[in-house]
């Protein structure tokens, strides 16, 4: 999953860069930057939602495991034969829960900022096209969107790696099959 998400993030940044290059007339294209912006931003919405739900899902899984161990209810979901002493599992589950929650908290604000600035830039682009706002207003928001995208891309890339390592540790510790969440 991590490789798919990283690939999609790379495609997203490339599409946004291509759109910017068309807008600055750096490359010739049969498409206008408005046409490319529509496709690029719809793709950005999809990718950012996908990444956000990955982090929410991994964090939720680790929190659920911690709660099962802490409350000692439904231990059959984690173990075929539950051990008498759950303290080593509980300590590791607490660390996993903190790690995945930190990953989620470090990426989702950037995801939301990317989506909000992208939406505003997109709407202001339409407003500029109809002469309701100046070009500088649209451009300023788009520059902010690009910076948030670059910072968000780097953070998402890094924390995808950390979340994936933690997920691997969780699945190994509790013998959870790779295909399940």
Q: What is the pLDDT of residue 156?
A: 96
Q: What is the pLDDT of residue 126?
A: 87
Closest CA to 127 of 86, 135, 1: 135
How many Å apart are CA 177 and CA 181, to the nearest integer?
8
Q: What is the pLDDT of residue 180?
A: 66
Q: CB-based burial of residue 136 (10 Å sphere; 0-12 exposed, 13-18 middle, 19+ buried)?
A: exposed
Q: Token pair 């096209």 is at which residue? A: 129
How many Å apart are CA 152 and CA 5, to the nearest integer?
13
Instruction: Collect the ranges in the chain with pLDDT lower than 70.
Output: 179-181
Does the pTM of the predicted model rise above 0.85? yes
* Cβ-based neighbour number of residue 130 at 10 Å: 7
């Amino acid at each position: 999953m991590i490789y798919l998400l990283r690939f999609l993030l790379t495609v997203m940044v490339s599409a946004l860069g291509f759109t910017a290059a068309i807008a600055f007339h750096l490359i010739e294209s049969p498409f206008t930057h408005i046409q490319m912006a529509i496709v690029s931003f719809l793709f950005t919405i999809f990718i950012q939602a996908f990444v956000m739900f990955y982090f929410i899902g991994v964090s939720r899984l680790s929190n659920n495991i911690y709660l099962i161990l802490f409350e000692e209810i439904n231990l059959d979901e984690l173990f075929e034969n539950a051990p008498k002493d759950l303290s080593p599992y509980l300590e590791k589950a607490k660390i996993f829960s903190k790690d995945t929650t930190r990953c989620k908290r470090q990426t989702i604000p950037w995801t939301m900022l990317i989506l909000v600035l992208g939406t505003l830039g997109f709407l202001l682009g339409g407003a500029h096209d109809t002469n309701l706002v100046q070009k500088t207003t649209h451009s300023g928001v788009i520059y902010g969107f690009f910076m948030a995208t670059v910072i968000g891309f780097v953070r998402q890339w890094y924390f995808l790696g950390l979340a994936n390592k933690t997920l691997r540790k969780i699945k190994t510790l509790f013998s959870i099959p790779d295909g399940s969440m």
